[in-house]
Amino acid sequence: MSNAHAANKSVLWDWLTTVDHKKIGILYLISGGFFFLVGGLEAVLIRIQLMSPEMAFLTGDMYNQVLTMHGTTMIFLAAMPVIFAFMNAVVPLQIGARDVAFPFVNSLGFWLFFFGGVLLNLSWFLGGAPDAGWTAYAPLSTQSSGHGVDFYVLGLQIAGAGTLMGGINFLVTIINMRAPGMTFMRMPLFTWTAFVTSGLILFAFPALTIGFFLLMFDRVFEANFFDANMGGNAVIWEHIFWIFGHPEVYILILPAFGIISEVVATFSKKRLFGYSAMVFATVLIGFLGFMVWAHHMFTVGLGAVANSIFAVATMAIAIPTGVKIFNWVFTMWGGRIKFNTANLFSVGFIPTFVMGGVTGVMLAVAPADYQYHDSYFVVAHFHYVIVGGLVLGLFSGLYYWYPRMFGLMLNEALGKWNFWTFFIGFHLTFFPQHFLGLMGMPRRYFTYPAEFELGSLNMISTVGAGLMSIGTIIFLINIVVTHVKGEKVSGDPWDGRTLEWAIPNPTPHYNFLQTPLVRGLDALWIEKMAGNKKMTPAEPVGDIHMPNNSILPFVMSLGFFIAGFGFIYFNTAGTPALIAVIVGLGIGLACMFLRSWIDDHGHHLHKEDLLKEDKGVDV
Amino acid sequence: MNVGERLTDENFPESPEKATLEGKNKFLGFWLFLGGETVLFATLFGTYLGLRNSFGKGPEASEIFQLPIVFIATMILLTSSLTSVYAVLALKQNNVKAMRAWFYVTLLLGVAFLGLEIYEFVHYVHEGHTFTSGAFGSAFYTLVGFHGGHVLFGVLWIASLLVRNSGRGLTLYNAPKYYLFALYWHFVDVVWVFIFTVVYLMGKVG
């Protein structure tokens, strides 16, 4: 038995070698959560500096570093991994699968992300963090002195490779590993959004990979891609970055849409209104996400025709998004709504995201964008979408799926405090920023003179940031309280509708003893309505094939981490850097080689043991 | 049947590369991976097209490109695609000997292509067309070198597959690996067709 097998080894070894998607989900959640706190701390530092005119708390280069790292950390090291945490924890369960398609690659993807994030953040201790903004526009980034931007390029390159692997993994999992009867149009909406998001990752991240290579070649190997003196062109960086960067926005927000759809339906005790329209809207948003990157570049001078096309394409996204908003509202309409914390975050999400969407359409008006461009109005807009959209969605998902992931229920009283402080703090922080932008406050600047009269709104904004911090601290307390109390809950604490609630708590590591037979949308709810105590199985109890644990993903990622260091110091450290590159890449290649050399057929859990283990659990 | 068991003519499935769920997953996952690779190369092509006339301090494309040698390299690479097709045909007939032989030919042709490419690069560097001589040089070596890196990876891949499985027949475990290599190899060859057109022919003609 693999359980007994794992018990022989230490806990640490178990987590380092695990290929179980549920454990990898928890690893993503913990490390993503940690980077969220780091990014949040950086945000608070920024807000303290901007609290009142001519502050001298965090100025010049230090401000640039904190600003750059706040954006980079939040997008790449906090938001993405927490999304992957949910995808890992929930998607295989929702489609009735025993595993993801590539468990080994799943583990590799996590460790690459982890080491990439660590590498990027080590820059703080090794001579300075990147300081060219999270968009790293050339030639600012190519001419940035020190090694900050090199850390940015190599750290994100390694993390990005992990993300791409995760995307492919989930695409294949969702296409190939659905339980019998789980047709595409019966998939829960979170799985749908995970599917579209994975598709976007597949086509967006390779562009970024190339962008990082070009930037690295310019900085480390003296190439001339972005150096106008040698015939290079800095606008190429902007195109490449935003061909990745705009779809990235939808990579982030679509899973949040999926979470909201699950939570609103569950706590309204109704099936999701307009399911097929929701699916269509998700796919359409994903498609349009690739058509709009140049709206980040209206003022670059691409010309009136290009600006018009991209403006109209951008505005078109409001239509499927509007469909979603209405469908959530109609789902609640006439439902028996239960306002627990998970649902509060979802309901709070809806108007907040609408506000972010409205300013998005304002920004899509190309002539008006010349006015808003690079002002705090833009900062307000994207925080409304990313924090007011994504982060509220992630909180909602966390409260909703915590019982599934950890077998425990987060405290409701603390959860409500968490929601109200965070929600009010959020609006207090970012609502005034719209007006600051319209009053002429530029983004990225570390101060403003007193006579511009920007002080009072900035002060309100900083107070709001403090309130958001309090909300986050309450959430951390909630986690501690929950785990100290440790009250176990049943496998289906919300009276859920989808398959992830059809299994006992704690989730067995093979997920489903018998693959369920899906008979319609909201598969579990259908069985409940038919008066069944459990899912109808699609197969008799039999041997279950499981993948073997492996340390190779960890070692391989460590190899690329070492090689990354080598490339970062390639220009200044000479031979030691070259040795690091060779050793690091050597470790990486050797691990690939071992992986293909050693046959790994996985192992089987035997029917008799499974039945023995399963005895007494009400499935 | 155990996936590690040698397949016989009696139990040989129609498509051994996707007869198991693992094989099916690999098959689909690899196609998707190639989709991502397409974006990777498309981005490089886009960058190259934007910079191909920014010669900087180096010579112009039409002065240095040697079409005959590039043409030979192209023929070699396209032929290696054909031999890998024969290898996959042999795989489908459970003819391990023929499959291995064709893959060895593919491997040799891949190595020959790499040799020609290295010769070509050395020649260009002598002419003053270097990675740092201008934006054109950076874009050229990055795009063509990226493709060369893919060829090198493919060569190492098939070599280790052949060595690892020497003396072993086809199983449901190694059949997908051979098959995926062939897919990869075709992809790399198709990219070369675009490089031949966009870089060399357009560089020569202008």
Q: What is the ipTM for the molecules in this complex?
A: 0.95
**How far is it, in rounded angstroms, from Cα A254 to Cα A273?**
17
Cross-chain Cβ contact B36/A169 below 8 Å: no
pLDDT digits 0-9 by tens, B71-129: 999 999 999 999 999 999 999 999 999 999 999 999 999 999 999 999 999 999 999 99
User: Touching check for B128 and chain A: CB below 8 Å?
Assistant: no
Residue B29, beta-bridge partner list: none
**Mean pLDDT for chain A?**
94
CB atoms within 10 A of CB A5: 11
- Domain assignment of residue A594, yes or no: no
- Domain assignment of residue A97, yes or no: yes
Q: Does the structure show a pLDDT above 60 at A619?
A: no
Asked if residues A504 and A489 have their Cβ atoms less than 8 Å apart, the reply is no
| Residue B167 falls in which region: left (phi positive, over 0), alpha (psi -120 to 50) or beta | left
- Domain assignment of residue A473, yes or no: yes
- Domain assignment of residue B3, yes or no: no
User: Touching check for B3 and chain A: CB below 8 Å?
Assistant: yes
Q: How many domains does chain B have?
A: 1
Cross-chain Cβ contact A217/B46 below 8 Å: no
- The pLDDT of residue A617 is 44
Pick from A209, A214, A599: CB nearest B4: A599
Cross-chain Cβ contact A202/B37 below 8 Å: no
Contacts of A236 in chain B (CB under 8 A): 46-47, 50-51
pTM: 0.95
Cross-chain Cβ contact A177/B21 below 8 Å: yes
- Domain assignment of residue B11, yes or no: no
- The pLDDT of residue A2 is 44
**How far is it, in rounded angstroms, from Cα B131 to Cα A500?**
54
Contacts of A211 in chain B (CB under 8 A): 43
Residue listed under structure tokens 């906090």: A78
- Domain assignment of residue A430, yes or no: yes
Cross-chain Cβ contact A232/B35 below 8 Å: no
Q: How far apart are the first and last CA of chain B?
A: 59
Give the pair of three-digit tokens for residue A383: 């925080």
Cross-chain Cβ contact A172/B44 below 8 Å: no
Contacts of B37 in chain A (CB under 8 A): 206
Distances (CA, A) of B13 to B5, B10, B170: 13, 9, 11
Nearest-Cα distance to chain B for A312, in Å, is 24
Pick from B21, B33, B57: CB nearest A168: B33
Q: How many domains does chain A have?
A: 1
Asked if residues A124 and A527 have their Cβ atoms less than 8 Å apart, the reply is no
Nearest-Cα distance to chain B for A370, in Å, is 26
Ranges in chain B, pLDDT < 70: 1, 206
- Domain assignment of residue B2, yes or no: no
Q: Quick one: which H or E segment has residue A252?
A: helix A234-268
CATH no. for residue B172? 1.20.120.80
Query: Domain range for residue A362?
Result: 3-550+600-614
- The pLDDT of residue A614 is 63
Query: Domain range for residue B33?
Result: 16-52+65-205
Contacts of B60 (CB under 8 A, 6+ apart): none
Alpha helices (runs of H) in A439-512, residue ranges in sequence order: 455-485
C-alpha dihedral over B133, B139, B140, B146, to 10 degrees?
130
- Domain assignment of residue B124, yes or no: yes
- Domain assignment of residue A569, yes or no: no
- Domain assignment of residue B151, yes or no: yes
Asked if residues B88 and B178 have their Cβ atoms less than 8 Å apart, the reply is yes
CATH no. for residue A479? 1.20.210.10
pLDDT digits 0-9 by tens, A348-378: 999 999 999 999 999 999 999 999 999 999 9
Contacts of B47 in chain A (CB under 8 A): 210, 214, 225, 236, 240
Nearest to B194 by CA among B152, B131, B130, B147: B147
User: Touching check for B136 and chain A: CB below 8 Å?
Assistant: yes
**How far is it, in rounded angstroms, from Cα B56 to Cα A229?**
8
Instruction: Identify the closest residue of chain A to B156 by CA–CA distance.
Output: A593
- Domain assignment of residue A210, yes or no: yes
Instruction: Identify the closest residue of chain A to B54 by CA–CA distance.
Output: A231
- Domain assignment of residue A211, yes or no: yes
Asked if residues B142 and A217 have their Cβ atoms less than 8 Å apart, the reply is yes
- Domain assignment of residue A565, yes or no: no
pLDDT digits 0-9 by tens, A57-80: 999 999 999 999 999 999 999 999
pLDDT digits 0-9 by tens, A292-337: 999 999 999 999 999 999 999 999 999 999 999 999 999 999 999 9
Contacts of A204 in chain B (CB under 8 A): 39
- Domain assignment of residue B126, yes or no: yes
User: Touching check for B18 and chain A: CB below 8 Å?
Assistant: no
- Domain assignment of residue B145, yes or no: yes
- Domain assignment of residue B162, yes or no: yes
Q: Quick one: which H or E segment has residue B78?
A: helix B67-92
Cross-chain Cβ contact A233/B57 below 8 Å: no
pLDDT digits 0-9 by tens, A152-174: 999 999 999 999 999 999 999 99
Q: What's the pLDDT band for A8 if we cut at 50, 70, 90?
A: low
**How far is it, in rounded angstroms, from Cα A572 to Cα A334?**
67
Q: How many secondary structure helices (H) and strands (E) does chain A include?
A: 24, 2
**How far is it, in rounded angstroms, from Cα A504 to Cα A506?**
6
